[in-house]
Amino acid sequence: GQNIDQPTEMTATEGAIVQINCTYQTSGFNGLFWYQQHAGEAPTFLSYNVLDGLEEKGRFSSFLSRSKGYSYLLLKELQMKDSASYLCAVRDSNYQLIWGAGTKLIIKP
Amino acid sequence: SQTIHQWPATLVQPVGSPLSLECTVEGTSNPNLYWYRQAAGRGLQLLFYSVGIGQISSEVPQNLSASRPQDRQFILSSKKLLLSDSGFYLCAWSVVPDRDTEAFFGQGTRLTVV
């Protein structure tokens, strides 16, 4: 079966750096997405990786290793507003998105 | 710019009652449209997707149905709700072809079946 694994919850301090990992086992691979979802709201797009390596976008970066079935989202200079759930999703061979359960990130002052 | 509208934001319905959630997209033509459900602490579960008017693919057999009567309108329905239908329902759209692009989500509907 298809599987996306992320830690359930992480805690970090304001101003620090946090890395959220995602491992996947899917039938084919056509890209990996990271979304941010605040409680009770819709997910919003953060990043997309289809080739190995690091994609940087401001305070957020996302890394992909297709051979290892692994990605991470790196958040720098954490702010209180970054408290949210972070969803990893993989597009499989049928171009359908397979979603992880999300990682709830708690930021403490 | 493209926008997606989904309503209502919250809904409390008794078991056995019907359901109709509506989603409309503005600013684009012939989008791919999706209905997802998200249970508490769980990932997004794809319920239905549509690549055109009247074209609906169902991913999970259940007592829900979907329809696309117009190009930018997607409706999620049920004739008789079950307690297990409670959850957070999200409509989403993506451009065609959507192979390298992300999906954009509506605000979501929090459905509680009592």
How far B38 CA lies from chain A's nearest CA (Å)? 9
If one counts every other C-beta atom within 10 angstroms of the C-beta of residue A3, the result is 12
Report, as an integer, the average pLDDT of A46-50: 94
Helix (H, G, I), strand (E, B) or coil at B85: helix
> DSSP per residue over A31-86, as a string?
-EEEEEE-TTS--EEEEEE-SSEEEEETTEEEEEETTTTEEEEEE-S--GGG-EEE
Residues A27-40 as b or e (16 or more Cβ within 10 Å = b): eeebbbbbbbbeee
Report, as an integer, the average pLDDT of A67-78: 97
What is the per-residue pLDDT for A29? 93
Burial of residue B70 (number of CB atoms within 10 Å: 0-12, 13-18, 19+): exposed
- Residue B32 and residue A103: Cα distance in Å, rounded? 27
A-B interface: how many C-beta pairs under 8 angstroms?
46
How far A76 CA lies from chain B's nearest CA (Å)? 23
Partner-chain residue, chosen from A41, A45, A95, that has the shortest CB–CB distance to B108: A41
Report, as an integer, the average pLDDT of A80-97: 91
Nearest residue to A88 (alpha-carbon basis) of A79, A76, A99: A99
Q: Which residues of A touch B105 (CB under 8 A)?
A: 42-44
Q: Is the pLDDT of residue B110 over 90?
A: yes
What is the per-residue pLDDT for B97? 61
Summarize pLDDT for B14-50 with one digit per residue, the tens: 999 999 999 999 988 889 899 999 987 778 888 998 9
Summarize pLDDT for A21-34 with one digit per residue, the tens: 999 999 999 999 99
For B64, the token pair is: 């829900």
A50 CB within 8 Å of a chain B CB: yes
